[in-house]
Structure 1
Amino acid sequence: MSSYVESSLIKDEQVVYKAYISSWSLSHLLVAGLVLLPFYGIGLLFWASAAIKYFSTELAITNRRIIAKFGFIRRSTIEINLQKVESVQVDQSILGRLLNFGSIVVSGAGSPQTPVLGISNPLKFRQIFMETQENK
């Protein structure tokens, strides 16, 4: 089974960079799961929630657009052409700076701001976006 990003590529479109959810951004769910595991296995629900979020989120930059997909059963997607993106903001907490994760907010012309929470290496995402947009 192919990923959403790969299945939505159009003719002559190539993936330039794929970003992933940081395990550190899911640490609150993992710790809660560990603490609540002795209580009738309730912690397994927290671990399942973290796993679903981790494996069902896709984020990629192609040579034509930014593609983001969230959700396992209910799917939410965002696809913005590179020419329509006005800015990519990076938000990192102190812990995010130390552990290299954060959120990005993509602002496009005619579309609302699109936040993507808890990705690994958000500064690299912004750098590769800027390079790809410049080469377009």
Structure 2
Amino acid sequence: MSFIEKNLLTNEVIIYRANMHWIIFLNTILYLLLSLITCAFSFKQTEGSQLLLAISLLALLFALISGINSFIRYKTSEFAITNKRVLIKIGFIQRHSLEVLLTKVEGIGVNQSIMGRILGYGTIIVTGTGGTKETFDQIASPLEFRSQVQANL
């Protein structure tokens, strides 16, 4: 059972769920590509082939660490809109969560870079009454998340 399902109120139902975007795995992909390229060049038995092999192994180690970190972040992040609240939880050991009643949401801001617009990810900024602002990065379909909040106000 997820964090959000465990924290539902009486008669509260989930209307919309969102996830992190796959872009959080971009560093892992780039490290893997660097590892493959340097590994391919290291087989040419040249003077620097030992150095290239070491760089390849180092890039592979970075890819592994980055991949594990991104996978944990992807699996432990939850975004939901219910008929009563906006619920967001990110993290496993170090947890960041937000629970705002829909009636207390003043606005949902969306920031997207050019790449974010092309690939469909961005940052959402949840503003509650009293001026509290919470920012969440690399969310898939942030405009849909905002539309769902606004449709249920």
Structure 1 length normalisation: TM-score? 0.89
Q: How does 1:14-93 map to 2 (within 5 A)?
A: 14-24=13-23, 26-34=24-32, 35=34, 38-39=57-58, 41-93=61-113
Q: Say which structure is richer in strand.
A: 1
What does residue 12 of structure 1 align with?
11
- What SS is found at the alignment partner of 2:74? helix
More displaced 10-residue stretch of structure 1: 98-107 or 31-40:
31-40
Q: What percentage of residue pairs aligned between the two structures are identical?
A: 33
Unaligned runs of 5+ in 1: none
Q: CA deviation at 1:27?
A: 3.8
Larger radius of gyration: 2
Structure 2 length normalisation: TM-score? 0.80
Name the CA distance, whole Å, in 2 between partners of 1:111 and 1:77. Answer: 17
Q: Structure 2: which amino acid aligns with 1:14?
A: V
Q: CA deviation at 1:59?
A: 0.6
50 and 33 in structure 1: CA distance in 2 versus 1, 3 angstrom threshold:
farther
- What SS is found at the alignment partner of 2:152? helix
Count of residue pairs brought into register by the alignment: 131
Instruction: Confirm or deny that 1:126 pairs with 2:124.
Output: no
Q: CA deviation at 1:42?
A: 3.2
Aligned-residue Cα RMSD (Å) equals 1.5
- What SS is found at the alignment partner of 1:47? helix
List per-residue Cα deviations over 1:16-58 (Å, max 9, x = no partner).
Answer: 000100002x143223441356226232101001101111111
Unaligned runs of 5+ in 2: 36-55
Q: CA deviation at 1:111?
A: 5.1
- What SS is found at the alignment partner of 1:110? coil
- 4+ residue runs over 3 A deviation: none
What does residue 115 of structure 1 align with?
135
Contact 2:25 2:67 in 1 (8 A): no
